[in-house]
């Protein structure tokens, strides 16, 4: 089977004039692999985002700055609220869920389950995104240095020593963070209208707190919102730990035990409730990959 990374290399190899590589997370190794297939005379525009917390956690590499500068006809731009993944070679392209990383593109031993679909530049949604990408600002050495310094500081920070750290890293380093909203299927409605009456007040407040914790930017469409939540949940250590256990099959009992290990402050009843909330979030935001068996309630890989 041809992995998405090879499909992407084939796409950009055919470019005659320009290539666009747009993804919030870019690793320098994967970028080097893709650029190796682009003709030297082709203009390349790379659009990504740099957040100190994400650099500190290893999901993005600042070294893409040097790689872009080394190549002629290459521009690197930054857009802080970027969540879209789009790859264009002249008028042909791929769009979907895959970031520009080895794990997302199928080049890693343990690769993600991703989706990239064929698109063309003239598609309405593609054209709309390209207009929004015009807001991206050129990456500079000063910005790179600032983000690097912040990432180093965040990596060294210790929550239990009471040091001042940014909200982003506080969430990422709080390995016990789990969602609190018991109605994840309604959280997009809460995101779109913080005063919505479609849910009870307590659920609305929990949903708003989760949205703040996950740092979801304003103005996303429902599809973009779901992708942003999914991407960010995979950065949360406790949630990712649970996701990694699903291929073995998770009963409600096993899930509750996992939650108890993560949150020893919870009694058995509250741990069971927290597990059900996590299970529901998985059902909503990871429904392409996982399912909850209707009879046994075992959370498992989705049947193909």
The pLDDT tens digits of the residues spanning 31-53 come to: 999 999 999 999 999 999 998 87
Q: Distance between CA 112 and CA 101 in Å, rounded? A: 10
pLDDT tens digits for 136-175? 999 999 999 998 988 887 665 433 333 333 344 344 445 5
Q: What's the mean pLDDT in 267-271?
A: 90
pLDDT at 266: 85
Average pLDDT score over residue span 269-298: 87
Which of 283, 296, 286 is CA-nearest to residue 253?
296
Is the pLDDT confidence value at 56 over 70? yes
Sheet arrangement for strand 74-78: 116-120, 92-96, 86-89, 18-22, 43-48, 74-78, 137-138
99-111 pLDDT tens trace:
999 989 999 877 8
Q: What is the pLDDT of residues 198-233, one digit of tens each?
A: 889 999 999 999 998 888 888 889 999 999 899 888
pTM over 0.85: no
How far is it, in rounded angstroms, from Cα 276 to Cα 250? 12
Per-residue pLDDT for 194 more than 70?
yes
**pLDDT value for 152:** 80
């Amino acid at each position: 089977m041809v992995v998405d990374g090879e499909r992407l290399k084939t796409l950009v190899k055919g470019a005659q004039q320009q290539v666009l590589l747009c993804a919030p997370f870019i690793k320098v190794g994967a970028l080097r692999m893709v650029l190796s297939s682009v003709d030297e005379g082709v203009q390349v525009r790379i659009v990504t985002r740099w957040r100190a917390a994400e650099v500190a956690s290893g999901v993005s590499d600042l070294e893409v700055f040097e790689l872009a500068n080394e190549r002629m006809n290459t521009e690197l731009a930054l857009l802080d609220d970027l969540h879209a993944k789009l790859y264009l070679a002249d008028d042909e392209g791929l769009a979907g869920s895959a970031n520009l990383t080895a794990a997302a593109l199928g080049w890693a031993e343990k690769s993600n389950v991703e989706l990239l679909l064929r698109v063309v530049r003239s598609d309405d949604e593609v054209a709309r995104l390209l207009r929004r990408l015009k807001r991206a600002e050129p990456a500079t050495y000063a910005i790179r240095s600032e983000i690097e310094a912040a990432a180093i500081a965040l990596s060294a920070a210790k929550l239990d020593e009471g040091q001042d750290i940014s909200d982003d890293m506080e969430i990422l380093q709080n390995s016990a963070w789990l969602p609190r909203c018991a109605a994840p299927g309604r959280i997009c409605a809460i995101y779109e209208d913080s005063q919505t009456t479609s849910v009870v007040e307590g659920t609305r407040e929990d949903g708003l707190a989760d949205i703040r914790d996950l740092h979801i930017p304003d103005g996303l469409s429902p599809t973009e919102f779901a992708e942003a939540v999914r991407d960010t949940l995979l950065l949360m250590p406790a949630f990712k730990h649970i996701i990694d256990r699903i291929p073995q099959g998770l009963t409600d009992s096993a899930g509750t035990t996992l939650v108890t290990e993560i949150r020893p402050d919870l009694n058995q009843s509250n741990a069971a409730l927290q597990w059900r909330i996590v299970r529901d979030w998985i059902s909503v935001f990871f429904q392409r990959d996982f399912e909850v068996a209707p009879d046994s309630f075992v959370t498992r890989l989705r049947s193909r």
